[in-house]
């Protein structure tokens, strides 16, 4: 009985995913979602991938990283360089995959020595790493230095955005539900106690860092395949902060929080396009207000679930039990 | 069962343990006494692999484990209840206990041990869905001990289980420790509460600024003039 219900729920999950995909696809087809909105949707999807993967590192494993833009840029440049030479779907997918793998590799190599550091020291080390990556791209011939790469053919569409976004969320949420994920969370909770339980803290920190970097690489590749143009300054310190803001706003340790926050921030910033002078002021002000009233983030460490929604519904509607 | 031979431990330039040697035989409760900063916790942490000694060696059942990692030692049957309980605060009681069995894969046996822990600490069963951070100090100590038992240890290290607990709870914790020992688990206990520890311990060692200065059976040390003066208040 319970098992049947679980299967049904997971069926419903797939159905919901398919439903979202088809609706947006349809709206794109009949041009309700125009080019501008499509770009917003692309930004949202890419930001969701970035935020969810940073949440794995920072929110769940407790390792404060400011280097996510660095991993993203590796994915973006790798994919762009391959796409410029092989402008085909095959080239795009090959670029995306090699970008993600390369980002993961760098994440692994950087993670091994730096993840011994804690808290603010780790933040500074990862920040330095991401700056080094940016400077390298600024000086390489193949990346065309500060002028950047332009004329990258567009292969990223709603289908790829959706598939990789959903794939990232499923990958990370399944990882967190596995015993490896539990181990990562225990490292965040108390590293010494985790070690005493026989959990190899360094290994799980590096694992989380590598998976996070892999997904950031995917996000970067999708970015390169959508926006035609790449330059190193896009992937500076502020980009890492942007991603961190999404994670903190959504709630450290809540995947659905990251998704919600990415959507919310994109909507706010789209809406604020009408007030160009005050845009950044209002944006910052909203962040401050949200953080004052929800210091734990929109979702805290909870996940959005159907149960929560029905619970909310029950609270809003007059209770039936009371009437009986 | 556990044999520590002449270990030296340094923290930077500080020489924390100087030629410390001690043995724990199977089935015993051995307690390690000493003032703050004497090196009790460091001894335990070195024995469980959380800290590496500069030299000396550690034998478990005759096998040299000095170079093995903390994880390996958990697999070999060492379980460590760290100082200050250190439960995972945002996780539920049940999740904490399950993490105690992290290295085990025998689901059926894990469930048996879970039942054993709940039998020993019924309060943990009542609170299994509650997050560990919301438990009282005594309950957290029980959870920390229960979590350590979930790895099915042959030898259990307890680091100041009485810390910050009300006297009545201290009594309860010590009777539980005695109980665990009687069901076949060897225990190495670090304590500041010397009188309680000596009451249940078979043997004891006294550490002072990184060296062992005294050892003997629990009752011998209870009688010792030095100990009475230094730790038992006259």
- Asked if B91 and A186 come within 8 Å (Cβ–Cβ), the reply is yes
Distance CA A185, CA A191 (A): 10
Residue A297 forms part of a structural domain: no
Distance from A44 to chain B by nearest Cα, in Å? 30
Residue A123 forms part of a structural domain: yes
Token couple for A318: 């007059």
Q: Which residues of B touch A197 (CB under 8 A)?
A: 74, 99-100, 102-103, 147, 151
| B151 close contact with A: CB closer than 8 A | yes
A22-35 pLDDT, tens per residue?
Answer: 888 888 888 777 88
Q: What DSSP state is assigned to residue A152? A: P
Mutate to test the interface with B, among A196, A202, A204, A301 (most CBs of B within 10 A): A196
* Number of domains present in the structure of chain A: 1
Distance CA A289, CA A273 (A): 20
A141-152 pLDDT, tens per residue?
Answer: 999 988 999 999
| B88 → closest Cβ in A190, A198, A200 | A190
Residue A47 forms part of a structural domain: yes
- Asked if A196 and B86 come within 8 Å (Cβ–Cβ), the reply is yes
- The answer, yes or no, to whether residue A319 has pLDDT greater than 50, is no
Question: pLDDT confidence of A306, banded at 50, 70, 90?
Answer: low
Residue whose tokens read 């330039």:
B13
Residue A122 forms part of a structural domain: yes
- The answer, yes or no, to whether residue A200 has pLDDT greater than 80, is yes
Residue A276 forms part of a structural domain: no
- Alpha helices by DSSP H, listed for A115-254, are 119-139, 158-177, 179-189, 191-196, 201-224, 237-250
Q: Which residues of A touch B103 (CB under 8 A)?
A: 197-198
| A185 → closest Cβ in B69, B91, B100 | B91
Q: Which residues of A touch B155 (CB under 8 A)?
A: none
- Asked if ipTM goes beyond 0.85, one says yes
Question: pLDDT confidence of A1, banded at 50, 70, 90?
Answer: very low
| Structural domain boundaries enclosing A205 | 40-236
pLDDT computed for residue B232 by the predictor: 66
Mutate to test the interface with A, among B65, B71, B132 (most CBs of A within 10 A): B71
Is the pTM higher than 0.90? no
Average pLDDT over residues A42-55: 96
Distance separating the N- and C-terminal Cα atoms of chain B: 34
Residue A324 forms part of a structural domain: no
pLDDT computed for residue A8 by the predictor: 61
Residue A59 forms part of a structural domain: yes
Q: Which residue segments constitute the domains of chain B, with CATH numbers given? A: 2-231 (3.40.50.300)
Could you state, in chain order, the average pLDDT of each consecutive group of 10 residues for chain B (234 residues)? 94 93 95 90 94 94 93 93 93 95 92 95 94 93 95 94 90 93 94 89 93 89 79 63
Q: What DSSP state is assigned to residue A60? A: I
Question: pLDDT confidence of A311, banded at 50, 70, 90?
Answer: low
pLDDT computed for residue A83 by the predictor: 95
In contact, A94 and A160? CB cutoff 8 Å? no
A239-286 pLDDT, tens per residue?
Answer: 999 999 999 999 999 999 999 999 999 988 888 888 888 878 888 888
A140-185 pLDDT, tens per residue?
Answer: 999 998 899 999 999 999 999 999 999 999 999 999 999 999 999 9
Give A 197-236 residues with CB within 8 A of chain B.
197-200
In contact, B185 and B156? CB cutoff 8 Å? yes
Give A 67-126 residues with CB within 8 A of chain B.
none
Residue A271 forms part of a structural domain: no
| A179 close contact with B: CB closer than 8 A | yes
């Amino acid at each position: 009985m319970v098992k049947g219900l679980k299967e049904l729920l997971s069926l419903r999950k797939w159905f919901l995913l398919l439903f979202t995909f088809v609706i947006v696809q349809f709206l794109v087809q009949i041009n309700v979602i125009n080019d501008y909105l499509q770009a917003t949707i692309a930004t949202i999807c890419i930001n969701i991938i970035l935020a969810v993967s940073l949440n794995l590192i920072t929110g769940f494993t407790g390792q404060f990283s400011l280097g996510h833009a660095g991993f993203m840029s590796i994915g973006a440049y790798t994919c762009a360089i391959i796409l410029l030479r092989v402008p085909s779907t095959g080239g795009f997918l090959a670029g995306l995959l090699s970008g993600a793998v390369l980002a993961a590799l760098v994440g692994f190599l950087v993670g091994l020595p730096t993840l011994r550091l804690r808290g603010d020291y780790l933040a500074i080390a990862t920040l330095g790493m991401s700056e080094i990556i940016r400077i390298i791209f600024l000086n390489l011939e193949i990346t065309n230095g500060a002028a950047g790469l332009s004329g990258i053919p567009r292969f990223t569409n709603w289908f790829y955005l959706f598939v990789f976004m959903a794939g990232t969320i499923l990958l990370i949420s399944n990882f967190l539900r596995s015993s490896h994920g539990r181990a990562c969370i225990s490292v965040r909770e108390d590293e010494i106690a985790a070690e005493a339980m026989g959990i190899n803290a360094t290994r799980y920190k590096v694992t989380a860092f590598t998976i996070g970097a892999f997904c950031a690489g995917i996000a970067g590749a999708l970015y390169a395949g959508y926006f035609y143009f790449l330059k190193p300054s896009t992937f500076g310190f502020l980009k890492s902060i942007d991603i961190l803001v999404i994670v903190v706003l959504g709630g450290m340790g809540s995947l659905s929080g990251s998704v919600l926050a990415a959507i919310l921030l994109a909507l706010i910033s789209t809406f604020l396009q009408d007030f160009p002078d005050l845009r950044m002021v209002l944006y910052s002000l909203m962040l401050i207000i949200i953080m004052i009233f929800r210091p734990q983030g929109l979702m805290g460490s909870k996940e959005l679930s159907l149960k929560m929604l029905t619970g909310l519904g029950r609270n809003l509607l007059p209770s039936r039990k009371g009437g009986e | 069962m556990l044999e520590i031979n002449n270990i030296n431990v340094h923290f930077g330039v500080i020489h924390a343990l100087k030629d410390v040697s001690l043995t724990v035989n199977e089935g015993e409760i051995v307690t390690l006494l000493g003032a703050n900063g004497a090196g009790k916790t460091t001894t335990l942490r070195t024995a469980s692999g959380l800290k590496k000694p500069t030299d000396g060696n550690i034998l478990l059942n005759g096998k040299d484990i000095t170079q093995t990692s903390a994880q390996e030692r958990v697999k070999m049957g060492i379980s460590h209840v760290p100082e200050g309980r250190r439960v995972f605060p945002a996780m539920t009681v049940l999740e904490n206990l399950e993490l105690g069995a992290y290295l085990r894969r025998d689901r059926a046996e894990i469930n048996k041990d879970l039942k054993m822990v709940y039998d020993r600490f019924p309060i943990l069963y009542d609170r299994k869905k509650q997050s560990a951070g919301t438990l009282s100090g005594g309950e957290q100590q029980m959870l920390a001990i229960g979590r350590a038992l979930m790895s099915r240890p042959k030898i259990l290290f307890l680091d100041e289980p009485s810390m910050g607990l009300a006297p009545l709870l201290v009594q309860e914790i010590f009777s539980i420790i005695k109980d665990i020992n009687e069901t076949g688990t060897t225990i190495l206990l670090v304590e500041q509460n010397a009188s309680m520890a000596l009451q249940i311990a078979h043997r004891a060692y006294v550490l002072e600024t990184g060296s062992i200065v005294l050892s003997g059976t629990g009752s011998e040390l209870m009688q010792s003039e030095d100990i009475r003066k230094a730790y038992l208040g006259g």
